[in-house]
Amino acid sequence: MKYTIFEDTRIGKRPYQQDRVAHWRTRDALFLVVADGMGGHAHGDVAAQIAVDCLGSAFNVEAKPGIADPDMFLYRAIGRAHAMIVHQSQRQGLADSPRTTVVACLVQAGYAFWSFIGDSRLYIIRDGRIVTRTRDHTPVQMLIDSGRIREEAAATHPDRNKLLQCLGGPRAPRVEPTAHARLAQNDIVLLCSDGFWGPLTQRQLLMGLLGKEMKKALPELVTLAETRAGARCDNVSVLAIEWHDRAVPAPVEPVTVPMDEMPTDVRDFSATDPDFMHMSDADIERQIAEIKKALKKHDSERK
């Protein structure tokens, strides 16, 4: 796999950083994660860190060196992350469970596979246009989808900070089927928190990338997001790759559902996968121990 990677996370005007950005790689796979701890609830940074740690642990254990079933991998890893956050809050006796959004993308065999909860986004940008992006789990996104407001109005809408789904909340997240796309040479796969995409119009995002090296363009766009957000600037985080492998045959469009036709059917963890959503404390502790044991074995094998 040939790619260039870039990541940046800034505190903005917030008192502390609640975003978490991370990536892991093997010879055949790359795993990217951005988690945005929710500031409206205590310890959002803790929720984001747990989510990143859980997803990274799952990748390190299952990537041998690729992931056999990307769809099930993302589905189960996100389910574990939610369960771990809830378990940790109960263990510490917190009155309000910490919460986070997350977007995760697995790249292998020339494809990107992704899933998300909340309003952290993934974009695929090709030849100066957005060929697909995730649709936020928000009331504002529903208004956009129904044609009641324009995309540009989302940043100033009074309900822009409301989420319909998150990790760590009282209800188990309902996850859309994993989307995937065949990558073409020079595609940019971009994951970000709402602190990055919120202040920027789509035109600004695309124009900022046009004709520039990604590693030069993205820091400028992060700074632009900070400037446009002003005194209310949120934490700003972005994680992106530019794909350098040539697709054979070269794709015309991504093998996924277009942005305006995303599926509405979802997966309910609590209904379809009770092993994660109804685990006892003892079960979770055993699973944590198993993950640590597998990671220790994995690390020793790589030395």
Domain boundaries, the chain: 3-293
pLDDT at 96: 78
Q: Which pLDDT belongs to residue 254?
A: 44
Helices (H), the chain: 44-62, 70-91, 139-145, 194-197, 202-209, 214-229, 269-272, 274-277, 281-302
Give the bridge partners for 133, in sequence order: 123
How much is the pTM? Answer: 0.82
Q: Which residue has the tokens 């409301």?
A: 162
Q: What is the pLDDT of residue 15?
A: 93
Residue 108 has φ and ψ, to the nearest 5°, of -160, 155
Alpha-carbon distance 86 to 80, whole Å?
10
- The partner residues of 188 in beta bridges, in order of sequence, read 125, 242
- On the 0-12 / 13-18 / 19+ scale of CB atoms within 10 A, 213 is exposed
Q: Return d(Cα 140, Cα 124) in angstroms, integer.
A: 22
- Residue 269 token pair: 């963890």
At residue 19's C-alpha, the angle toward residues 198 and 114, to 5°, is 75
The reported pLDDT for the residue numbered 154 is: 75
What pLDDT, on the 0 to 100 scale, is given for residue 276?
Answer: 46
At residue 271, the pLDDT reads: 42
Instruction: Give, in order, the Cα–Cα distances in Å from 272 to each of 21, 31, 159.
Output: 29, 25, 31
User: What is d(CA 297, CA 36) in angstroms, rounded to the nearest whole number?
Assistant: 30
Contact 61, 115 (CB under 8 A): no
Q: Are 111 and 183 in contact (CB under 8 A)?
A: yes
Backbone φ and ψ of 267, nearest 5° = -105, 135
Cα 165 from chain centre: 13
For domain 3-293, give the fold: Phosphatase 2c; domain 1 (3.60.40)
pLDDT, residue 150, reads 84
pLDDT at 297: 57
- How would you write 213-279 as a 3-class SS string? CHHHHHHHHHHHHHHHHHHHCCCEEEEEEEECCCCCCCCCCCCCCCHHHCCCCCEEHHHHCHHHHCC
Per-residue pLDDT in tens (0 to 9) along the chain, 303 residues: 999 999 999 999 999 999 999 999 999 999 999 999 997 667 899 999 999 999 999 999 999 999 999 999 999 999 999 999 999 888 888 777 899 999 999 999 999 999 999 999 999 999 999 999 999 999 999 998 898 888 877 777 888 878 999 999 888 888 778 999 999 999 999 999 999 999 999 999 999 999 999 999 999 999 999 999 999 999 999 999 999 998 655 444 444 434 444 433 344 444 434 444 445 555 556 555 555 555 455 456 545
Q: Residue 297: is it exposed, middle or buried by C-beta count within 10 angstroms (0-12/13-18/19+)?
A: exposed
